[in-house]
Chains A and B, each alone.
Chain A
Amino acid sequence: MSDVCIIGAGIHPFGRTDGVSGLDQGVFAVRQALAEAGLEWRDVQFAYGGSDAAGNPDTMVERLGLTGVQFINVRNGCAAGGSALFSAQMAIKSGEFDIGLAVGFDKHPRGAFNALPAEYNLPDWYGEAGFMITTQFFAAKITRYMHLHGISRKTLGLVAEKAFRNAVHAPHAWRRAPVPLDEILDGTMVSDPYSKYMFCSPGEGGVALLLASEKKARELGITPIRLKAATMRTRPPHSFEVFAPMVDVGGGVATATRLASAAAFEMAGIGPADIAVAQLQDTEAGAEIMHMAENGFCADGEQERWLAEGLTEIAGRLPVNTDGGCLACGEPIGASGLRQVYENVVQLRGAGGGRQVPGTPKTAYSHVYGAPGVSAVTILER
């Protein structure tokens, strides 16, 4: 079967842009992607759009043009972007369409997300008592992981330090100033063992990816980036997830991430050792550590050595989060997963400037994870 190709990628800078709505940040990204591909909005046959808190994506037709285009909204928590991309590539794979759009944007208020129990099928008391907090889960998950696999707190600090250092070279990143390791480790504590520098913040941003069939990409004369796999999975039994009042005894090992990752590698017909650059969900520093193992890139516990030896640096064996990831870009839920794919497109094109992975990478991997136990993975090839 022929591949689905990415023929254009656009991004509105992440962070805080006062006076510009989330939707308009999405529109900005779409126009950039169209310009890159040399296409007009009327050429787009269908769109899938994801937003969690910034309104209905299909309303952007008012800005882009009332062409009657098929536009489907996706609301799938942290996997919204990944789900939009998965759906868009299916529409092309099916032969129904040959040019389409996956777009995601968001704009969250300052501070932690305030999720409500009823949205997650939980009793009200769980929120009233102060348990409805994502940071508690992430911190408890890494505390257990550090205990079992000998990961030090310094290693968490090294992840954050790398993120801010990489972001210096990423124009779309939010926090683009390096932060020294001791400042990260000694920063205000949020949820132990994490200081404020080790958590990402909800933010704003927009990303658009134009997809086409291989045949159409050739017709347009565009050197495509091939989407070899896009998967999305929900949680398996015995997993430990965000907003969990309980875990099964012996649980906490199986995750939605492991399922989505294994399915993506099978679909692409390659393994973790074949990946040249990876964007892994790093809503907090420990997530990057745990997701290195959950996605099959190393064994549990090996991260301590990997970080100490710089193996996930830009010039390392497997560069991870080359644009600073969520830690430096923030997390606008609807856009965040697509930002990872955008960064991979930049890397595969060799257009990363100061953050470019050397040796012209040929394969790139992206992974998101979120409440209430969802994960989405993509594998790109050029």
Chain B
Amino acid sequence: MRPIAEGLFTEESPPRLIGARHRPSGRIVFPCPPGADYEPHPLGRRGRLWSYTIQRYRPKSPPYTGPEAFKPWVVAYVELPGEVIVEARLDGVDFAALKIGMEVEFAPVPLDPDAADSVLIPGFLPAGEAA
């Protein structure tokens, strides 16, 4: 399975999310913007849940390119210590067990879980459960 966009994940296994370092200020951002002021910066894998919600309806297309079939998912903001807070999916957790501060680990998730050739989007799993 391939990432939804180039330059989003590192090619190592397991992959990391690619952010960027702003050369003049050292600020870490995500995603990596175009331009010479930014250099790609692979982000840490482990972080803590900073905030979240549950997406309960299928987003409109365009721009959403996911499957017609819809199951609610967790939208998470994850704090990667000393770097940046990133927005991503959070899989592998009961909605009732979601807790700000819980430890999570980067693991890209398929945009269409039922398709063999689905693209992968930024995602996390509870720490210890990532492959």
Q: Chain B residues with Cβ under 8 A from A189's Cβ?
A: 54, 56
The total of chain B residues at the interface (CB under 8 A) is 40
Q: Determine if B51 is an interface residue (Cβ-Cβ < 8 Å).
A: yes
- Interface presence of A139 (CB below 8 A): yes
Contact indicator A132/B54 (Cβ below 8 Å): no
Whether A128 is near chain B, meaning CB under 8 Å from some CB there, is yes
A-B contact pairs, 27 of them (CB 8 A): A112-B57, A114-B60, A116-B62, A117-B63, A123-B5, A125-B5, A125-B8, A125-B121, A128-B64, A129-B121, A135-B53, A140-B53, A141-B51, A143-B51, A143-B100, A144-B51, A190-B57, A191-B54, A244-B87, A246-B31, A246-B84, A246-B85, A246-B86, A246-B87, A247-B50, A247-B85, A249-B83
- What's the Cα separation between A173 and B100 when bound, in Å? 37
With beta carbons under 8 angstroms apart, the residue of A129, A143, A188, A245 that contacts B111 is: A129
B77 CB-CB contact with A under 8 Å: yes
Residues of A near B84 (CB, < 8 A) are 246-249
- Of all chain B residues, the one with the shortest Cβ separation from A193 is B53
Query: B54, A246: Cβ atoms under 8 Å?
Result: no
Contact of A192 with B56 in the complex, beta carbons under 8 Å = yes
Judge whether A129 and B4 touch: CB under 8 Å.
yes
Query: Which listed residue, A123, A190, A193, touches B31 by the CB 8 Å rule?
Result: A123
A191 and B122 in contact (CB under 8 A), knowing A130-B64, A248-B84, A249-B85?
A: no
| Chain B residues near A (Cβ < 8 Å) | 4-5, 8, 19, 27, 29-31, 50-57, 59-60, 62-66, 73, 75, 77, 79, 81-87, 89, 95, 100, 111, 121-122
* B residues near A129, Cβ cutoff 8 Å: 4, 64-66, 89, 111, 121-122
Within 8 A of B (CB), among A226-268: 244-249, 251
Minimum CB–CB distance from A379 to chain B (whole Å) comes to 32
Cα-based distance from A148 to B3 in the complex (angstroms): 35
The residue in chain A whose Cβ has the minimal distance to the Cβ of B109 is A129
Tell me which residues from 124 to 157 in chain A have a Cβ below 8 Å from any Cβ of chain B: 124-133, 135-136, 139-141, 143-144, 147
Q: Which residues of A contact B81 (CB under 8 A)?
A: 249
Most chain B CB inside 10 Å of its own CB: which residue of A128, A129, A139, A247: A129
Which chain A positions have C-beta within 8 A of B60?
A: 111-112, 114
B25 nearest CB across to chain A (Å): 10
Measured between beta carbons, the chain A residues less than 8 angstroms from B66 are 128-130
Bin the interface of chain A by size: 35 or more
CB distance from A73 to the nearest CB of B (A): 26
Residue contact A128 to B4, C-beta cutoff 8 Å: yes
Contact flag A147-B77 (CB < 8 Å), given A125-B8, A132-B59, A132-B64: no
A residues less than 8 Å from B82 (CB atoms): 249
CA distance A189 to B64 in the complex (A): 20
Distance in Å from the Cβ of A321 to the closest Cβ of chain B?
A: 23
Q: Do A248 and B27 touch across chains, with their CB atoms under 8 A apart?
A: yes
Task: Give the distance in Å from the alpha carbon of A147 to the alpha carbon of B99 in the complex.
Answer: 10
Q: In the complex, A149→B77 CA distance in Å? A: 18
Chain A positions within 8 Å of B55 at CB level: 130, 133, 136, 191
B89: chain A residues at CB < 8 Å are: 129
Known: A139-B53, A143-B52, A246-B30. A127 touches B100 (CB 8 A): no
The minimal Cβ–Cβ distance linking A345 to chain B, given in whole angstroms, is: 36
In whole angstroms, what is the CA distance A114 to B62 when docked? 7
- Which residues of the other chain, B, contact A125 by a CB distance below 8 angstroms? 4-5, 8, 121
Q: Is the CB of A248 within 8 A of B85?
A: yes
Q: How far, in whole Å, are A251 and B83 apart by their CA atoms in the complex?
A: 12
Q: Are B53 and A191 closer than 8 Å at their CB atoms? A: yes
Neighbour of B59 across the interface among A133, A140, A245, A251, CB < 8 A: A133
